[in-house]
């Protein structure tokens, strides 16, 4: 039942300014026709040498900014500043329970209060600056994994934060492997107050069994499910948000093709190896000016990386996706650090965009796997 917004926000204000009761709070999303200054704000109590404080981490989707505000007037004014922003969701965890508030289209508050406290996150203020999900999160204890993997996944979450606008709907992680990203995405979205469901797909049955057992252990098996099957045709409900982190070679094309067929709103794919186009380049006649480069295996491979992802981005645009190709993490954490980031809604392609793609394919004499999977006709 919706409630008036102001009293609900006053309840949140009291919880945020309670140094003893507050565990953690997150504001995210936006109200109808309004954009907050930040994509996300996270608040938690921290202990500093100078005494207790409310830590406020605001993020524009790329870089978080951290402030520690002493309890009293500084904390109150930081909280009031955030409450004035038109965030669409507040998620507040206190010693007494959890409060989730969503602002409806009519500007009312849809509030869900539960007595059970979600697993409290440690108040490690020094780590919060660097990580979107706290490395002390119990999730990581259960999942294990290297520091480099955590860094990669955290960076991927940042890219998600800057791409997915509000509720991610059903999220599907294609080629999920040991499901690091799958669980992290679930944690990230639920921390923002969304009732997210996530499905991980991997061809390996042993991964499905292991990941399902982990979901049960983490108490989220009703919302995080795993399916053994191929990316192209595993039985999975339509996804609104598609993720693919290092799906091998043309498995990335399969993930993109599945997303296009689903008409998924947001697609984030960090490709792995690019053997398919590299092999085609070896056989085909490259443009004369490039033939010397293509004869060198290492240069051919690097060229294939660029060409493959360029063709993928161009094809996504032809299917109505606004697409960019970015580095999502520093190369010292993984050399496979390129990310294709796409959002549906770019409209029909122009004749020039169609011609550019056709010319690229003709000039290099290659047949992109993604085009085959989508039956794209030039």
Binding residues vs ligand SAM (CB under 6 A): 175-178, 180-181, 201-204, 207, 230-231, 245-248, 251, 254, 272
Structural contact between residues 298 and 334, judged by C-beta atoms closer than 8 angstroms: no
**What minimum distance in Å lies between the beta carbon of 207 and ligand SAM?**
6
Min dist CB 307 to ligand SAM, Å, is 21
Whether residue 199 contacts residue 236, with contact meaning beta carbons closer than 8 Å, is answered with yes
The residue among 11 and 173 lying less far from ligand SAM, judged by its C-beta, is 173
- Shortest distance, position 47 Cβ to ligand SAM, whole Å: 34
Matching residue, tokens 């690097």: 302
Helix locations, the chain, DSSP H: 5-16, 73-84, 125-128, 138-143, 147-163, 180-191, 205-217, 251-262, 275-283, 291-294, 297-318, 351-364, 369-373
State which residue, 31 or 341, has the beta carbon closest to ligand SAM. 341
Answer yes or no: are the C-beta atoms of 318 and 357 closer than 8 Å. yes
Q: How many CB atoms lie within 10 A of CB 299?
A: 13
69, 75 in Cβ contact below 8 A? yes
Element (H, E) at 25: strand 22-28
In the bound complex, what is the minimum distance in angstroms from residue 3's beta carbon to ligand SAM? 41
CB-based closest residue to ligand SAM:
177
Give the nearest distance from C-beta 173 to ligand SAM in angstroms.
7
DSSP assignment string, 303-325: HHHHHHHHHHHHHHHHTTEEEEE
Q: Are 273 and 251 in contact (CB under 8 A)?
A: no
Shortest CB 204 distance to ligand SAM, Å: 5
- Nearest partner of 151 among 130, 123, 136, 165, judged by Cα: 130
With respect to ligand SAM, which residue has the nearer C-beta, 82 or 269? 269
Which of 42/137 has CB closer to ligand SAM?
A: 137
Residue 142 Cβ vs ligand SAM, minimum distance, rounded to whole Å:
15
For ligand SAM, the closer of residues 61 and 229 by Cβ is 229
Using the minimum distance from each CB to ligand SAM, give the nearer residue, 48 or 248: 248
Give the shortest CB-175-to-ligand SAM separation in angstroms: 3
Distance CA 287, CA 207 (A): 43
When the beta carbons of 134 and 202 are compared against ligand SAM, the nearer one is: 202
By beta-carbon proximity to ligand SAM, the closer residue of 248 and 367 is 248
């Amino acid at each position: 039942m919706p409630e008036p917004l102001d009293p609900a926000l006053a309840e949140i204000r009291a919880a945020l300014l309670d140094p003893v009761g507050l565990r953690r709070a997150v504001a995210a999303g936006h109200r109808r026709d309004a954009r907050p200054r930040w994509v996300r704000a996270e608040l938690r109590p921290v202990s500093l040498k100078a005494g207790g404080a409310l830590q406020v981490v605001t993020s524009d989707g790329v870089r978080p900014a951290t402030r520690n505000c002493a309890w009293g007037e500084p904390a109150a004014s930081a909280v009031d500043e955030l409450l004035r922003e038109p965030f669409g969701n507040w998620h507040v965890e206190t010693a007494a329970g959890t409060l989730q508030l969503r602002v409806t289209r009519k500007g009312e508050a849809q509030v869900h209060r539960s007595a059970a406290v979600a697993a409290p996150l440690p108040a490690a203020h020094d780590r919060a600056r660097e990580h979107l999900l706290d490395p002390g999160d119990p999730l990581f204890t259960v999942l294990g994994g290297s520091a480099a993997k955590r860094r990669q996944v955290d960076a991927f979450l940042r890219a998600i934060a800057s791409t997915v606008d509000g509720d991610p709907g059903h999220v599907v992680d294609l080629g999920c492997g040991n499901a690091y990203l799958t669980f992290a995405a679930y944690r990230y979205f639920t921390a923002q107050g969304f009732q997210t469901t996530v499905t991980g797909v991997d061809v390996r049955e042993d991964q499905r069994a292991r990941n399902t057992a982990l979901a049960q252990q983490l108490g989220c098996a009703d919302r995080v499910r795993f399916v053994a099957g191929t990316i192209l045709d595993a039985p999975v409900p339509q996804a609104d948000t598609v993720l693919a982190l290092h799906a091998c070679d043309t498995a990335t094309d399969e993930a993109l093709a599945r997303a296009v067929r689903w008409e998924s709103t947001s697609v984030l794919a960090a490709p792995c190896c690019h053997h398919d186009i590299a092999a085609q380049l070896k056989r085909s006649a490259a443009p004369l000016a490039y033939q010397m480069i293509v004869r060198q295996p290492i240069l051919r491979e690097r060229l294939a990386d660029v060409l493959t992802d360029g063709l993928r981005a161009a094809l996504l645009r032809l299917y109505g996706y606004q697409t960019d190709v970015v580095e999502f993490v520093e190369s010292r954490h993984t050399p496979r650090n390129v990310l294709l980031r796409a959002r549906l809604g770019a409209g029909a392609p122009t004749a020039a965009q169609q011609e550019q793609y056709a010319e690229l394919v003709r000039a290099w004499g290659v047949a992109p796997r993604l085009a085959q999977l989508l039956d794209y006709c030039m």
